[in-house]
Structure 1
Amino acid sequence: MTDLPGAEPRPRPGAPAPRSRRRQLVLGMVLVLALALVGWLVVRFTGGEAGGRFQRPSSTVTVVAAATADVPVELEALGTVTPTATATVRPQVSGVVTRVAYEEGQTVRQGDLLVQIDPRPFEIALAQARGSLQQSESQLADARVSLERFQQLLGQDSIARQEVDTQAATVRQLEGAVASARAAVRDAELDLDFASVEAPIDGVVGLRTVDVGNYVAAGDATGVAVITRTTPIDVAFAIPQDRVADVRARAGLTALDEEGNDADRALPVIALDRTRSQALASGRFLAMDNQISTDTGTVGAKARFDNADGALFPNQFVNVRLRLQTLEDAVTVPLTALRQNDDGAFVYVVNADSTVTLTPVVAGVSDDSRVVVAEGLAAGTEVVTEGGDRLVDGAMVMRAGQVPPMAAPAGDESPQRRRGRPPGGGPRG
């Protein structure tokens, strides 16, 4: 049958319809474009063509060179300022207070008068004791004279020996009475001395606890004053049990005298405020307790400070920094350069070709900003400090602030760039 003019030709039997042919053509073009895109991405991200036309993407990182420095090995702990001596001055005799000789917060010396108790009753008791002593001494003198006369008569066989022995016993009895009377006099004198309450130690007096006219009793629990010695002063702190051996080894290099003043080679200690931003005083390690606390796993220790300026106050909380030693010319890197994986600590070392190498290291002591690298790194080696979270061994990096490299090397300009240049090779206007 012949097709009419203007009518669509009928498809031959077994041939695909025109609409299906167009669909297949579109799908084929999409597939070709997809394969081309995948190939470009593979070339772009794997280094692709020979001749270095394409480069791997670079991660922007911050790089710092490992440096050498003298690094102190320190132990930090929370401490409490404790006075070297605290005395609650209690009266030894009872009576009425007639004078308070100190001011609140005053610095006193040993032997200074603090409170005067009415001395008159004690003066009377002393006079009575002295009178009794005088009476006993007179009786003893008379008995001794009689004993001498009796002994003379006994030599003349004019008196019985029993009377001589009796008189000798009387003399010994009166000698005992005299000794007792003398002790009573000393006791009365001591009570009179106790009526003047004096400072037993050097230190600072606290707030007043008595006033004139108050009656105080011997051994009163509140006392008449509280004195605290603040120069020198101690700081008590705790040492973790894992660091006890280090402290003992370093503290064994010196020996303090009884007052802790031989500090030529003692371990230095610094007392800091709560924020650790200001050093309050400098002192020296004094002593360590003889056993570990099972509750905290720490050992009590003390450091001594001269505290001449009064910067440390009793019961004040401070941060203690004990220096054990100083590592000289130690290799250090910023704390952010040190990383951890399943194998331990490592750093990313930046090579000359802008690639990085994962380098295992042995980390030492650290502070708030840096860490000592004991093994695995030499001074001057550049390491990554920031941007290392997305790196792997062998990755290419770019330093922060560095201009990124061009996609194609010099002398291999693409046709598009060549078409964009005006004749003569000059820049476009």
Structure 2
Amino acid sequence: MTYESEIMAKKGEAVNVSLDGETVIEERGGRSRKRLYIVIALIVLAAIVAAYLLLTAGAEEEAVDTGAQAPAITVVSPGRTTVAGEIVATGVLAARRDAPVGVVGEGGRVVSIPVEAGDWVRQGQVLAVIDRSVQSQQAHAASAQIQVARADAELAQANLDRALQLVERGFVSQADVDRLTATRDAAAARVQVARAQLDELQARNARLNIVAPSAGLLLERNVEVGATVSAGSGPLFRLARGGEIEMLAQVGEEQLTKLRAGVSAEVTPVGSDQTFTGQVWQVAPTIDAQNRQGTARIALSYDPALRPGGFATARILSGTTTAPLLPESAVLSDDDGSFVYVVDAENKVQRRPVRTGMVTSEGVVIESGITGNEKIVLRAGGFLTEGETVNPRTAGQ
């Protein structure tokens, strides 16, 4: 081995000697570098795997944290319910047949009023008496005129009878008989005229009394003793014929189309806890152009608690309907109208406009906007915002 070979061997280099004596040098470090590259590659791969696992774990933790931070919200799926149709309306109570009573004669000074508001009266009963002292004297004079005319008629008849007896003897001509007959007929006619005049005066005097045109409940008395009344004085009394009362319920244009005469209704006067059962007997054929409402007239039996002029609330049956029924807490409203919050498949809150119907003891009928299969936020909707992630929980869990 040469000196160079020895030196290279000391440095760690491989020395090979050929058969012909030549020295071949190989680097021992080649294999070491390969092993180093492999180790570095393994380390990089391990670092990549560790980074991936770290990122995945972080995302899962973030998702867990997000789920833990999402508010727990109670939701319901209402489905569809068959509900008895009901229309709620307000209106005033009134006499079903309101009969104003006033002066029908020439009038005069009121001397007596034997009735008070709230009294039941019969047909023809005197409600007020008007002074008739002058008219009574005129009636007496007319009665005397009848007596005078009757006496003249009797005298004319007697003259005619005597003339008829003398005409046969020739003492009285036929012309005289005819004249006496005409005188007798005129006297008899004057009796009839006098009698007719008396009847007229008596009829006028009878009209001085203000009487009830029919039996019923006296609602108002607008006159006092001593007042002077005439045909232009207006109604002095108001009478509810038969005591029948009705409610004039104001119903929206759309709801009015659902009503028919004969359906039942429950009427509750304002300030009262009593409910009275009635029946719609007439639905208005026209709509008020100002408020787009019509009148449903509900007939009611008399009761002292039903006072004409008072306000009342009516619940009118209008058939049945099948629709989602939500608790009132689930239905919100703002300037844009009524709406509910629906939780979608990603647990995000979405606003859904709805059209509400009648309100029952079980909830609010939703006429359109949802099918009933959605997850509807039951409560706390006013604290949510659209797009917010929530943790939905079914009611009852």
Q: Is the 8 A contact 1:361 1:377 kept in 2?
A: no
Partner of 2:4: none
Q: Is the 8 A contact 2:67 2:391 kept in 1?
A: no
TM-score by length of 2: 0.62
Residue 142 of structure 2 is aligned to residue 129 of structure 1:
yes
Partner of 2:218: 204
Partner of 1:386: 379
Residue 59 of structure 2 is aligned to residue 42 of structure 1:
yes
What secondary structure is seen at the aligned counterpart in 2 of 1:71?
strand
Amino acid at match of 1:43: E
Structure 2 CA distance for aligned equivalents of residues 85 and 127 of structure 1: 38
Partner of 1:229: 240
Amino acid at match of 1:235: M
Structure 2 CA distance for aligned equivalents of residues 299 and 206 of structure 1: 28
Question: Number of residues paired by the alignment?
Answer: 336
Amino acid at match of 1:295: Q
Structure 2 CA distance for aligned equivalents of residues 387 and 38 of structure 1: 36
Partner of 1:6: none
Pick which of 281-290 and 189-198 moved more.
189-198
- In structure 2, the CA distance between the partners of 1:141 and 1:218, relative to structure 1 (3 Å rule), is farther
Return the offset for 1:316. Answer: 1.8
Q: Is the 8 A contact 1:350 1:383 kept in 2?
A: no
| Superposed CA offset, 1:292-327 (max 9, x none) | 33333333342222132x222222233333322244
Structure 2 CA distance for aligned equivalents of residues 339 and 45 of structure 1: 33
Q: CA RMSD in A?
A: 5.0
Alignment of 1:99-110 (within 5 A): 99-103=112-116, 105-110=118-123
Structure 2 CA distance for aligned equivalents of residues 96 and 361 of structure 1: 68
Amino acid at match of 2:203: L
Amino acid at match of 1:85: D
Structure 2 CA distance for aligned equivalents of residues 227 and 185 of structure 1: 32
Structure 2 CA distance for aligned equivalents of residues 145 and 45 of structure 1: 136
Identical-pair percentage: 18
Return the offset for 1:285. Answer: 1.3
Amino acid at match of 1:66: P
What secondary structure is seen at the aligned counterpart in 1 of 2:314?
strand
Amino acid at match of 1:322: I
Structure 2 CA distance for aligned equivalents of residues 377 and 215 of structure 1: 69
Residue 231 of structure 2 is aligned to residue 219 of structure 1:
yes
Q: Is the 8 A contact 1:235 1:303 kept in 2?
A: yes
Residue 364 of structure 2 is aligned to residue 370 of structure 1:
yes
- In structure 2, the CA distance between the partners of 1:122 and 1:349, relative to structure 1 (3 Å rule), is same
Larger radius of gyration: 2
Return the offset for 1:112. Answer: 3.5
| Superposed CA offset, 1:328-382 (max 9, x none) | x765332454699xxx98885899xx97999x9997733163225788447xx97
Q: Is the 8 A contact 2:73 2:391 kept in 1?
A: no
User: Which residue of 147, 161, 177 maps to 2:190?
Assistant: 177
Provide structure 1 residue ranges, at least 5 long, that are not aligned to the other structure: 1-33, 48-52, 252-265, 403-429
TM-score by length of 1: 0.58
Return the offset for 1:81. Answer: 2.1
What secondary structure is seen at the aligned counterpart in 2 of 1:271?
strand
What secondary structure is seen at the aligned counterpart in 2 of 1:114?
strand
User: Which residue of 265, 278, 282 maps to 1:269?
Assistant: 265
Amino acid at match of 1:370: V
Higher helix share: 2
What secondary structure is seen at the aligned counterpart in 1 of 2:139?
helix
Alignment of 1:24-423 (within 5 A): 42-45=59-62, 59-64=71-76, 66=78, 71-83=83-95, 84-90=97-103, 92=105, 94=107, 97-103=110-116, 105-143=118-156, 169-170=182-183, 172-194=185-207, 196-201=209-214, 202-204=216-218, 206=220, 209-211=223-225, 214=226, 216-219=228-231, 221=233, 225-229=236-240, 231-247=243-259, 250-251=260-261, 266-274=262-270, 278-308=273-303, 310-327=304-321, 332-337=325-330, 348=342, 365-367=357-359, 369-372=363-366, 376-377=371-372, 383-386=376-379, 389=384, 397-399=392-394
Structure 1 CA distance for aligned equivalents of residues 54 and 274 of structure 2: 65
Structure 1 CA distance for aligned equivalents of residues 132 and 66 of structure 2: 106
Amino acid at match of 2:87: L
What secondary structure is seen at the aligned counterpart in 2 of 1:367?
strand
- In structure 2, the CA distance between the partners of 1:41 and 1:337, relative to structure 1 (3 Å rule), is farther
Structure 2 CA distance for aligned equivalents of residues 383 and 319 of structure 1: 31
Q: Is the 8 A contact 2:88 2:358 kept in 1?
A: no
